A and B are shown apart, each in its own frame.
Chain A
Amino acid sequence: MAFAKAEKTFQASVETSKFVREDYKYMYAAKKEGKKIAWMTGITPVEMFETTEIVSVFPENYNAFSSAKQMGADLCQEAEMRGFSQDICSYGRLCLGYCLSGKGPYGSLPDPDILICTRNACATHVKWWEAMSHIFKKPLFVLDIPEIHGVPTKAQTKYFMTQLEKLKEFIKETTGQTVKDDRLEEKVALSQRTSELWSELTEMRKKSPCPISSTDVFNQMFLTVTKPATKRANDILTQLVAEVKAYVDQGKGVVEHERFRLMWDNIAIWYNLGLMNYLQKAGAVSVIETYSSHCGWGKLMDMSQGPAHALASKYMPGYLNLDLNSKVKLMQSLAKDFRLDGALLFSNRSCKPYSVGQYDIKIALEKVGVKSVMFEADMVDQRAYAEETINNRLEAFLEMLENDKSAK
């Protein structure tokens, strides 16, 4: 199956691609030099690690990268051949695939010295990181964040803060590195700047026509996920915001005639970001994604009580860590704020926290007048993507929206 390649629109995107390539080159070189390597799950307080000489590696980023290169199915199979079930999360399978076979785009990632796992997305992360700790025989730290019902309770915040202190001790014990509070303040400030720029970007997507597509936004997530506390990310985002603002000033959008404003729910389909081109031909634009804007990355922090508390405000209450009622409320408010015509509910076999409850979200969106289409696939394993089936469904959905518009 050959998927259409996604198109990049902004000059800043080119800068991001450069940053990605250089970062990967750096991490392998750093390993050779003897620098300590930390593998961390997606929504981890990387700000802390930026204050040290430890190199932060995000296997999930490499997963997305591998999948975009159409290597997802093969790498998942490498894990399956070695005894892992086809039904476990494909992010886990793909990662284990390159770890155990060395057949990723650049081979495997540089071997970890320590493993850092957060539990603010799913419990599968813990199983996956424990598996890797078992395989690599390296120490693991789990930053455990329980489910947040709307807002974190005092007890939950205390739990987080206590563990943050223990994480500092763990880092010291395992790598000899110290997390210094003044450096942390500095990094958190840079991260906040990234969040400010990201929020500005998101705000501009409320305009009609939407000036930046989900494809471009998904591709920029490298900055908010892995590099929020860097000046380089700040600079690139500043540039991107300026470019997008220029579009807004010119009334320029992703498509010339914006017919339908849509939301994308769930993780991106990394091997087929070109799906967006298909929709855009019909004048349909994804103007907001829960994944890029509400999982914690790029979130504005509460800076009023010091850097640790700021990190708590960012890393505790992301979309994936909320109860269903809170998720529904958020979806309904996004529908209103972004003046949506419809929603694309990607039912992702690999992500229970994201996908289970989507029928309730469909019903809730219907209540605020937003129709949605649900289609099943996987985020990195293209064997679970039935192109004709999904295209047919999307086409029928667009026809439905089109007829709705004619009727009005």
Chain B
Amino acid sequence: MKMVIGIDSGSTTTKVVQMSEGKVKHYLVLPTGPNSERTATRMLQTAQQECNISADDIATIVATGYGRANISMANKQVTEITCHAKGAASIFPGAQAIIDIGGQDSKIIKIDSTGRVLDFIMNEKCAAGTGRFLDVMCRVLEVGIDDIGPLSLSSSEPVQISSTCTVFAESEVISHVARGTPVEDIVAGICSAISARVYGLGRRILTGCTKIIFTGGVAKNQGIVKGLEDRLGLQLLVPPNPQIVGAIGAAFIGQETLKGEV
């Protein structure tokens, strides 16, 4: 049984997916650290061990993400835009757009029914609207990243975080803490700020879409899911493992290449 490997070498985490006959057989998510090539290599070795397969069982490897150029073992490198599109469409056929919020960037991608990219917009020059924003705030509030979602949903009066700059927003949060504002209200305000930023970025592309997928590590955050859903006026489709969608897409592209479809 031949395996196809998708590697998404992101700035924060590396995702390795093994796929066979269109189905995900195994996946790993680990921090990238300073050496993206070494991390990817190690993760692939671990994956092979855990699936009891050797290098001969691997038909092809496709790499995506910011570190993709460094993954020397990859047979092909494709941008994360194209991979996210492919991955999302495979999980939710008929999806029309993807919102992806990663560690250091956010992107909105419009796709057709085959997962082909029709349009995209990215924000990667500013931490606001990315996972980094959440990380900074978690540190200030001394709250775990996994607690943000539930806390946010329990708030009845979210505060308004108006600063567009992460550094200034951090100051706003500190002021709220000093004032004794309930932490759930602050957290809810933070989630609202991120959702607003991403919605503002992608509004034009998302207009008219009814089936929208939310991917990336931040998609696990219920507070942000709600923030986006409220603004979009619909329910978002969140995959069970929103972080690996890019790697899944890469694997699919690998599969298509083998079949001569690309």
Query: When A and B assemble into the complex, do they touch directly, with CB atoms less than 8 Å apart?
Result: yes
The answer to the question of A407 belonging to the interface, with a C-beta cut-off of 8 Å to chain B, is yes
- Per the bound structure, the CA–CA distance linking A399 and B250 in Å amounts to 13
Greatest chain B CB density within 10 A among A374, A393, A404 is at A393
Interface-side segment among B22-30, B74-82, B141-149, B213-221? B74-82
Q: A399 touching B117 by the CB < 8 A rule? A: yes
Contacts of A388 in B (CB 8 A): 66
Q: A396 touching B125 by the CB < 8 A rule? A: no
Q: B262 touching A366 by the CB < 8 A rule? A: no
Contacts of B78 in A (CB 8 A): 399
- Per the bound structure, the CA–CA distance linking A396 and B79 in Å amounts to 6
Choice from A371, A376, A395, A404 contacting B79 with Cβ under 8 Å: A395
Choice from B66, B116, B119 contacting A366 with Cβ under 8 Å: B119
Q: A400 touching B82 by the CB < 8 A rule? A: yes
Q: B82 touching A399 by the CB < 8 A rule? A: yes
Contacts of B82 in A (CB 8 A): 396, 399-400, 403
- Per the bound structure, the CA–CA distance linking A200 and B42 in Å amounts to 59
Greatest chain B CB density within 10 A among A388, A395, A396, A399 is at A396
Q: B122 touching A393 by the CB < 8 A rule? A: yes
The answer to the question of A389 belonging to the interface, with a C-beta cut-off of 8 Å to chain B, is yes
Contacts of A400 in B (CB 8 A): 81-82, 116-120
Interface residues in B95-154 by Cβ distance below 8 A to A read: 114, 116-122, 124-125
Choice from B66, B119, B121 contacting A392 with Cβ under 8 Å: B66
The answer to the question of A386 belonging to the interface, with a C-beta cut-off of 8 Å to chain B, is yes
Interface residues on B, range: 10 to 19
Interface residues in B143-174 by Cβ distance below 8 A to A read: none
Interface residues in A359-408 by Cβ distance below 8 A to B read: 359, 363, 366, 371, 374, 376, 386, 388-389, 392-393, 395-396, 399-400, 403-404, 406-407
The distance from the CB of A330 to the nearest CB of chain B, in whole angstroms, is 22
How many contacting A-B pairs (Cβ < 8 A)?
A: 42
Interface residues in A304-350 by Cβ distance below 8 A to B read: none
- Per the bound structure, the CA–CA distance linking A363 and B119 in Å amounts to 11
Q: B117 touching A403 by the CB < 8 A rule? A: yes
Contacts of B122 in A (CB 8 A): 393
Interface residues in B219-258 by Cβ distance below 8 A to A read: none
Q: B125 touching A392 by the CB < 8 A rule? A: no
Q: A392-B66, A406-B262 are in contact. Are A399 and B79 (CB under 8 A)?
A: yes
The distance from the CB of A389 to the nearest CB of chain B, in whole angstroms, is 5
Contacts of A389 in B (CB 8 A): 124-125
Q: A388-B66, A403-B82, A406-B262 are in contact. Are A396 and B124 (CB under 8 A)?
A: no
Q: B79 touching A392 by the CB < 8 A rule? A: yes
Q: A399 touching B81 by the CB < 8 A rule? A: yes
Contacts of B80 in A (CB 8 A): 396
Q: Which chain B residue shows the least CB distance to A406?
A: B262
The distance from the CB of B70 to the nearest CB of chain A, in whole angstroms, is 12
Q: A386-B125, A396-B82 are in contact. Are A403 and B119 (CB under 8 A)?
A: no
Q: Which chain B residue shows the least CB distance to A371?
A: B119
- Per the bound structure, the CA–CA distance linking A396 and B83 in Å amounts to 10
- Per the bound structure, the CA–CA distance linking A374 and B121 in Å amounts to 8
Q: A376 touching B262 by the CB < 8 A rule? A: no
Q: B116 touching A407 by the CB < 8 A rule? A: yes
Q: Which chain B residue shows the least CB distance to A386?
A: B125
Contacts of B204 in A (CB 8 A): 359, 363
Q: Which chain B residue shows the least CB distance to A407?
A: B116
Q: Which chain A residue shows the least CB distance to B107?
A: A396
Contacts of A374 in B (CB 8 A): 121
Q: Which chain B residue shows the least CB distance to A376?
A: B125
Contacts of A407 in B (CB 8 A): 114, 116
- Per the bound structure, the CA–CA distance linking A386 and B125 in Å amounts to 8
- Per the bound structure, the CA–CA distance linking A376 and B123 in Å amounts to 11
The distance from the CB of B78 to the nearest CB of chain A, in whole angstroms, is 7
Beta-carbon contacts of B63-91 to A below 8 Å, as 1s and 0s?
00010000000000011111000000000
Q: Which chain A residue shows the least CB distance to B114?
A: A407
- Per the bound structure, the CA–CA distance linking A395 and B68 in Å amounts to 12
Contacts of B79 in A (CB 8 A): 392, 395-396, 399
Contacts of B116 in A (CB 8 A): 400, 403-404, 407
- Per the bound structure, the CA–CA distance linking A371 and B81 in Å amounts to 15
- Per the bound structure, the CA–CA distance linking A395 and B79 in Å amounts to 7
Q: A386-B125, A389-B125 are in contact. Are A396 and B81 (CB under 8 A)?
A: yes
- Per the bound structure, the CA–CA distance linking A403 and B262 in Å amounts to 8
- Per the bound structure, the CA–CA distance linking A406 and B78 in Å amounts to 16
- Per the bound structure, the CA–CA distance linking A407 and B117 in Å amounts to 11
- Per the bound structure, the CA–CA distance linking A399 and B64 in Å amounts to 13
Contacts of B121 in A (CB 8 A): 374
Contacts of A399 in B (CB 8 A): 78-79, 81-82, 117
- Per the bound structure, the CA–CA distance linking A363 and B79 in Å amounts to 24
- Per the bound structure, the CA–CA distance linking A392 and B83 in Å amounts to 13
Q: Which chain B residue shows the least CB distance to A363?
A: B204
- Per the bound structure, the CA–CA distance linking A396 and B125 in Å amounts to 17
Q: Which chain A residue shows the least CB distance to B122?
A: A393
List, sorted by A's number, 7 A–B pairs whose CB atoms are closer than 8 Å. A392-B66, A392-B124, A396-B79, A396-B81, A400-B118, A400-B120, A406-B262
- Besides A395-B79, A399-B117, 14 new A-B residue pairs in contact (Cβ under 8 A), listed by A number: A386-B125, A396-B80, A396-B81, A396-B120, A399-B79, A399-B81, A399-B82, A400-B81, A400-B82, A400-B116, A400-B118, A400-B120, A403-B82, A407-B114
Which 10 pairs show the lowest CB-CB distances between chains A and B? Answer: A396-B81, A396-B79, A400-B117, A399-B82, A403-B116, A395-B79, A389-B124, A399-B79, A392-B79, A407-B116
